Chain A
Amino acid sequence: MERNEVVIKAGKSALNYWREVWRQRELFWILGKRDVMVRYKQTVLGVAWGVIRPLMTALVMVFAFGKIAKLDQDSSIPYMLVVIPGVIIWLFFSQSLSQISNSIVGNGNLVSKVYFPRIIIPFSSLLVGLLDAIIAFLIFFVFCIYYQFFPSWHILLAPIFLILAYLAAFGSGLFASVLNVKYRDIAQIIPFVVQFGYFISPVAYSSERVKNEWWYPIYNLNPVAGAIDGMRWSLLGDFAKFNWPSFISLLIFVIISVLFSIWFFRKNENSFVDHL
Chain B
Amino acid sequence: MKAISIENISKKYILSHKKKKFQNLKESISGFLGGLFTSKDEEETKEVFWALQNVSFDIEQGDRIGIVGSNGAGKSTLLKILSRITEPTNGQVKVNGRMASLLEVGTGFHPDLTGRENIFLNGAILGMKQQEIKRQFDEIVSFAGIEKFLDTPVKRYSSGMYVRLGFAIAAHLEPEILIVDEVLAVGDSEFQKKCLGKMKDVSSSGRTILFVSHNSTAIQGLCNKAAFLQKGNLVKYGEVGEVLHDYMTSISKFQLQQNWETPDNAPGNDQVRIKNIEVIPEFVNGSKNIDVRTPMKINIEFWNMLELAHLNLSIFLYNMTGECVFNVGSQAKTFSKGLITGILEIPANFLNDGSYYISAMIVKDTADPIYFMEDAISFDVADWREGTNWYGKWPGAVRPINISVKTWKVDGLI
Which of A6, A116, A185, A186 is within 8 Å of B125, CB to CB?
A: A116
Known A-B contacts A3-B97, A10-B89; A114 and B121 likewise in contact (beta carbons under 8 Å): no
Determine, out of B37-45, B77-85, B243-251, the stretch whose residues face the partner at the interface.
B77-85
User: Is B96 touching A5 in the complex (CB atoms < 8 A)?
Assistant: yes
- B308 interface hit (Cβ, 8 Å): no
Say how far B173's CB is from chain A's closest CB, in angstroms. Answer: 12
Nearest residue, chain A, Cβ from B123? A30
- A74 interface hit (Cβ, 8 Å): no
Interface centre among A2, A34, A38, A109 (most CB of B within 10 A): A34
A125 to B260 Cα, complex, angstroms: 71
- B338 interface hit (Cβ, 8 Å): no
Could you give, for residues 29-56 of chain A, a 1 whenever the CB lies within 8 Å of some chain B CB and a 0 otherwise? 0110010011001100000000000000
Which of B13, B82, B96 is within 8 Å of A3, CB to CB?
A: B96
Nearest residue, chain B, Cβ from A269? B87
Which of B85, B91, B93, B112 is within 8 Å of A114, CB to CB?
A: B85
With a cutoff of 8 Å between Cβ atoms, the chain B residues found around residue A110 in the complex are: 107-108, 125
Known A-B contacts A37-B117, A114-B125; A109 and B82 likewise in contact (beta carbons under 8 Å): no
Say how far B88's CB is from chain A's closest CB, in angstroms. Answer: 6
User: Is B88 touching A10 in the complex (CB atoms < 8 A)?
Assistant: yes
Could you give, for residues 11-40 of chain A, a 1 whenever the CB lies within 8 Å of some chain B CB and a 0 otherwise? 100000000000010110011001001100
User: Is A270 touching B125 in the complex (CB atoms < 8 A)?
Assistant: no
User: Is B94 touching A7 in the complex (CB atoms < 8 A)?
Assistant: yes
User: Is A30 touching B25 in the complex (CB atoms < 8 A)?
Assistant: no
User: Is B98 touching A41 in the complex (CB atoms < 8 A)?
Assistant: no
Determine, out of B126-134, B212-220, B326-334, the stretch whose residues face the partner at the interface.
B126-134
- B95 interface hit (Cβ, 8 Å): yes
User: Is A26 touching B124 in the complex (CB atoms < 8 A)?
Assistant: yes
User: Is A8 touching B112 in the complex (CB atoms < 8 A)?
Assistant: no
- A9 interface hit (Cβ, 8 Å): yes
Nearest residue, chain B, Cβ from A27? B124
With a cutoff of 8 Å between Cβ atoms, the chain A residues found around residue B113 in the complex are: 34, 37-38, 41
Nearest residue, chain A, Cβ from B91? A9
Could you give, for residues 1-26 of chain B, a 1 whenever the CB lies within 8 Å of some chain A CB and a 0 otherwise? 00000000000010000000001111
User: Is B95 touching A5 in the complex (CB atoms < 8 A)?
Assistant: yes
User: Is A115 touching B101 in the complex (CB atoms < 8 A)?
Assistant: yes
User: Is A8 touching B87 in the complex (CB atoms < 8 A)?
Assistant: yes
User: Is A109 touching B125 in the complex (CB atoms < 8 A)?
Assistant: no
Say how far A224's CB is from chain B's closest CB, in angstroms. Answer: 23
User: Is B84 touching A115 in the complex (CB atoms < 8 A)?
Assistant: yes
A234 to B120 Cα, complex, angstroms: 39
- A113 interface hit (Cβ, 8 Å): yes
With a cutoff of 8 Å between Cβ atoms, the chain B residues found around residue A152 in the complex are: none
A49 to B49 Cα, complex, angstroms: 51
Which of A8, A30, A37, A109 is within 8 Å of B93, CB to CB?
A: A8
Known A-B contacts A5-B96, A38-B112, A41-B113; A185 and B24 likewise in contact (beta carbons under 8 Å): yes
How many residues in A have their beta carbons less than 8 Å from beta carbons of B? Answer: 39
User: Is B88 touching A8 in the complex (CB atoms < 8 A)?
Assistant: yes
User: Is B86 touching A270 in the complex (CB atoms < 8 A)?
Assistant: yes
Could you give, for residues 90-112 of chain B, a 1 whenever the CB lies within 8 Å of some chain A CB and a 0 otherwise? 11111111110101100110101
Known A-B contacts A37-B117, A109-B108, A113-B104; A8 and B130 likewise in contact (beta carbons under 8 Å): no
With a cutoff of 8 Å between Cβ atoms, the chain B residues found around residue A3 in the complex are: 96-97
A252 to B234 Cα, complex, angstroms: 53
A31 to B125 Cα, complex, angstroms: 9
Say how far B187's CB is from chain A's closest CB, in angstroms. Answer: 18
User: Is A273 touching B80 in the complex (CB atoms < 8 A)?
Assistant: yes
Which of A2, A10, A273 is within 8 Å of B90, CB to CB?
A: A10
A11 to B112 Cα, complex, angstroms: 37
A9 to B81 Cα, complex, angstroms: 9
Say how far B245's CB is from chain A's closest CB, in angstroms. Answer: 31
With a cutoff of 8 Å between Cβ atoms, the chain A residues found around residue B89 in the complex are: 10
Say how far B305's CB is from chain A's closest CB, in angstroms. Answer: 64
A4 to B86 Cα, complex, angstroms: 21
User: Is A30 touching B94 in the complex (CB atoms < 8 A)?
Assistant: no
With a cutoff of 8 Å between Cβ atoms, the chain A residues found around residue B153 in the complex are: 41
Interface centre among B88, B92, B104, B125 (most CB of A within 10 A): B125
- B366 interface hit (Cβ, 8 Å): no
Could you give, for residues 176-216 of chain A, a 1 whenever the CB lies within 8 Å of some chain B CB and a 0 otherwise? 00010011111000000000000000000000000000000
Q: Which of A94-115 contact B (CB under 8 A)?
A: 107, 109-115
User: Is A9 touching B80 in the complex (CB atoms < 8 A)?
Assistant: no
- B28 interface hit (Cβ, 8 Å): yes
A26 to B124 Cα, complex, angstroms: 7
User: Is A34 touching B121 in the complex (CB atoms < 8 A)?
Assistant: yes
With a cutoff of 8 Å between Cβ atoms, the chain B residues found around residue A115 in the complex are: 83-85, 101
A185 to B25 Cα, complex, angstroms: 7
A113 to B91 Cα, complex, angstroms: 22
Chain B residues packing against A (C-beta within 8 Å): 13, 23-26, 28, 80-99, 101, 103-104, 107-108, 110, 112-113, 117, 120-121, 124-127, 129-130, 153, 176
Q: List the 5 shortest-distance A-B pairs measured between CB atoms, nearest first.
A: A9-B92, A115-B84, A30-B124, A8-B93, A41-B112
Q: List 15 A-B contacts (CB under 8 A).
A: A3-B96, A6-B99, A7-B92, A8-B84, A8-B92, A9-B92, A30-B120, A34-B117, A38-B112, A113-B85, A113-B104, A113-B107, A183-B28, A185-B26, A274-B86
Q: Given A8-B81, A10-B88, 10 more contacts at CB 8 Å?
A: A3-B96, A5-B94, A6-B94, A6-B99, A11-B87, A30-B125, A38-B112, A114-B108, A115-B83, A185-B24
